[in-house]
Amino acid sequence: MGLSLYAVLGHFVIEVKKNETWQLQAYDVGHKFLCLTTDPVRPGRFYAGTFDEGLWISDDYGESWEPAGSGIKHNRIFSVAASPTESKNDYSVVWAGTEPSGLFRSEDGGKTWIDRPTLLDLPSKPTWSFPPRPYTHHVRYIQPDLHDYNRIFVGIELGGVMRSVDQGKTWEDRKLGSQYDCHTLAMHPTEKDIIYEAAGGGYAQSLDGGKTWETVNDGLDPYTYLVNIAVDPANPHTMVASAAKHARTAYNPETAETVIVRREKNEPWTIVSEGLPKPEGSTVFSLLSHPSEPSVFYAVNNIGIYRSEDAGKSWKHLPVKWPEYFKRERVRGFVALKD
């Protein structure tokens, strides 16, 4: 038994798994997905968002897709998340975040959607702006709480981390110490009150369930532009993040220069290089860990897919055939399922 890994590159959904050897299967789905998640209570069910074609649903592990039901007011879906702690009607409650910023909830597997409009009533809302399209902004990441089904966090790009303690009915504005340019949020499977934020201004964390925050960038300079983060299931104080110097060197393979950074306990961040590709031409990695594999991390980008068995200190390239097309693409979603 092991993990099956799924990632989105361009208009492909790929599956990487190990039987006797590591194998890669790619499905051309005809859409460029921006985000990907799985339903914890429905094996094989995936949700994925697009830039202008709405939200899509698969029931066969990403091989074929159908559009989601009505109720999401915008067609640009930048984030999607299925709750690990709340389910209704034999589906996990699923959340979708849009551009312009909006948050929508489904309790019937994506057939219908409920708007959570009070997110847009926050005092900071007039200051939200996405620099490449400064006239708009979006919900970049959604983190349903892993331990409390009433609590949910969303990251606005660019606006910060917002918290709800009543399933999104009301919201608290960004707290001092967190970062404005939120890219990714994470939680730990056993530590209920730690929230991790990877952002354009570096790393921030909350140790009290999102009530207060602090930024911790010791050792990051000049790689203070963080995009993705993952935490060791065996240790809530060991984490890895994908980092660049700024946005211009994060996403485009032609100009990319990125690294993986690691933090342990309260030590400064350090750059990890053993087993990883050189920074030049390497786009930011998508990262994940899984509770079934303590001290193991996975990383994937345009160059390939990598695994660490020592809590992120060193990495090995997984021996799968990597199509040339992938080298020109950015990974937009990365999830794992236990076989």
Is residue 41 within 8 Å of 30, Cβ to Cβ? no
Residue 121 φ then ψ, to 5°: -95, 0
In DSSP terms, which residues pair with 5 in a beta bridge?
Answer: 16, 336
- Alpha helices (H) along the chain: none
pLDDT at 198: 98
Which residues constitute the domain of residue 119?
Answer: 3-338
In DSSP terms, which residues pair with 106 in a beta bridge?
Answer: 94
Assign residue 313 a region (left: φ > 0; alpha: ψ between -120 and 50; beta: otherwise).
alpha
- Report the alpha-carbon distance of residue 254 to residue 79 in Å, rounded: 26
Q: What is the DSSP letter of 101?
A: T
Is residue 11 within 8 Å of 28, Cβ to Cβ? yes
Structure tokens at 322: 């990597």
Enumerate residues 6+ apart whose C-beta is below 8 A from 162.
119, 122, 153, 154, 155, 156, 171, 172, 173, 174
Q: Would you give the distance in Å from CA 328 to the centre of its chain? A: 20
Is residue 17 within 8 Å of 5, Cβ to Cβ? yes
- Report the alpha-carbon distance of residue 51 to residue 320 in Å, rounded: 29
In DSSP terms, which residues pair with 129 in a beta bridge?
Answer: none
Is residue 21 within 8 Å of 27, Cβ to Cβ? no
Q: Is the pTM of this model over 0.85?
A: yes
pLDDT tens for the chain, 339 residues long, are 589 999 999 999 999 998 889 999 999 999 999 999 999 999 999 999 999 999 999 999 999 999 999 999 999 999 999 999 999 999 999 999 999 999 999 999 999 999 999 999 999 999 999 999 999 999 999 999 999 999 999 999 999 999 999 999 999 999 999 999 999 999 999 999 999 999 999 999 999 999 999 999 999 999 999 999 999 999 999 999 999 999 999 999 999 999 999 999 989 999 999 999 999 999 999 999 999 999 999 999 999 999 999 999 999 999 999 999 999 999 999 999 998
Q: In what order do the strands lie in the sheet with 138-144?
A: 138-144, 152-157, 160-164
The radius of gyration of the chain from alpha carbons, rounded to an integer in Å, stands at 18
Is residue 155 within 8 Å of 198, Cβ to Cβ? no
For the chain, what is the domain count? 1
In DSSP terms, which residues pair with 185 in a beta bridge?
Answer: 197
Structure tokens at 281: 């031409």
pLDDT at 1: 54
Candidates 149, 146, 178; CA nearest to 162 is: 178
Structure tokens at 275: 């087993």
Enumerate residues 6+ apart whose C-beta is below 8 A from 133.
none
Q: Which CATH number covers residue 197?
A: 2.130.10.10
Structure tokens at 64: 């074929």
Structure tokens at 272: 């990890």
